[in-house]
Amino acid sequence: MEPADRLTLGYVRSHPLEAARRLEAMKPHESAELLAPLPAEDVASVLEHCLPGPASKVLSNLTLRMTCHVITELSTSSAIGVLRQFDDSLRLDLLDRLEKAIGASLRRAMRYPPHTAANLADPRVFTLPPDVTVEEALVRTKQDVRHATYYVYVIDRDTKLEGLVTLKQLLANETDQLIASMMTAKVVTLSAEASIDEILQHPQWERFHTLPVVDRWGTFLGALRYRTLRGIEQDQVHNPDPGPLSQALIQLWEVYSLAGIGMMTDMVKTMGTQEGEKSNTSVTYPKDRH
């Protein structure tokens, strides 16, 4: 990654909301030029703070491959909001290019009105089929640990919710035991059609930090985390005032966006590699409530 791109990456990771506001004020192709070299998950973290219209215009200026990667990293509600901005042919093309399970989940979710459980549920949470052993389940968990939660939902080959197991159960049981023999079959769920008020008033949040969302036929659409609800409850995003170093970084980034890559590359080189690395910090997201 070029020094200028590392500077941009450090800025968007430290101040995604401020970066989103500045990107919305720029021309879409200029915003896309700044974001194109960055990892898809970091692009998604910024576009989460953009309105669907501006976000879709930025994505339209990226490659289809990159756009698919970014949509995969967006929250379900943001992904749906962006997809609805595209014309039918492009939307269908993108859905076809997504990983099969995610594309199918987003198609189902788009059938429901905004701000329903189906629209808010994350279809990417780690799931298991009932006919694998604990040993194989642990291998799969390690391969997809990023999307794993404490509760692992068990779905059959028709994507019907069958039960759940916990990570503690997987670690404590015999490796040759089948998931079906140890899962809890009676699972507390959220209706796909549930409204925000109905979701917030659900009494089981006192027991669970994540709840699965199913339609009337029992099809698993994803899981809704309590931390997502906390975000919905906020009337505004609280962003602390950045310190002097962050303010300087913002000013440098603005110069970079206006003057172009070449100028900022020269400026970054004079700052030295070590200083550039200091600005490359990560956002720490709040943990789920247990």
Look at residue 232 in the predicted model and tell me its pLDDT: 63
Pick the CATH number of 1-98+237-284 from 1.25.60, 3.40.50, 1.10.10, 2.30.29: 1.25.60
Look at residue 285 in the predicted model and tell me its pLDDT: 39
Superfamily name and number for 127-225: CBS-domain (3.10.580.10)
Could you say which residues of the chain have pLDDT below 70?
231-290
Look at residue 71 in the predicted model and tell me its pLDDT: 93
Per-domain residue ranges of the chain: 1-98+237-284, 127-225
Name the residue type at position 106.
Answer: L
CA angle 91, 94, 96 (to 5 degrees): 110
Asked whether the beta carbons of 59 and 35 are under 8 A apart, the reply is: no
Distance CA 184, CA 250 (A): 50
Q: Which two tokens stand for residue 110?
A: 């788009």
Give residue-wise pLDDT tens across range 216-244. Answer: 888 888 898 887 777 666 633 444 444 44
Three-state helix/strand/coil letters over 145-214 = HHHCCCEEEEECCCCEEEEEEEHHHHHHCCCCCEHHHHCECCCCCEECCCEHHHHHCCHHHHCCCEEEEE
Three-state DSSP state, 257: helix
Q: What CA–CA distances, in Å, run from 242 to 15, 123, 247?
A: 9, 34, 6
Look at residue 62 in the predicted model and tell me its pLDDT: 94
What is the average pLDDT value for the chain, to the nearest integer?
Answer: 79
Q: Would strands 210-214 and 220-225 be described as parallel, antiparallel, or unpaired?
A: antiparallel
Look at residue 185 in the predicted model and tell me its pLDDT: 92
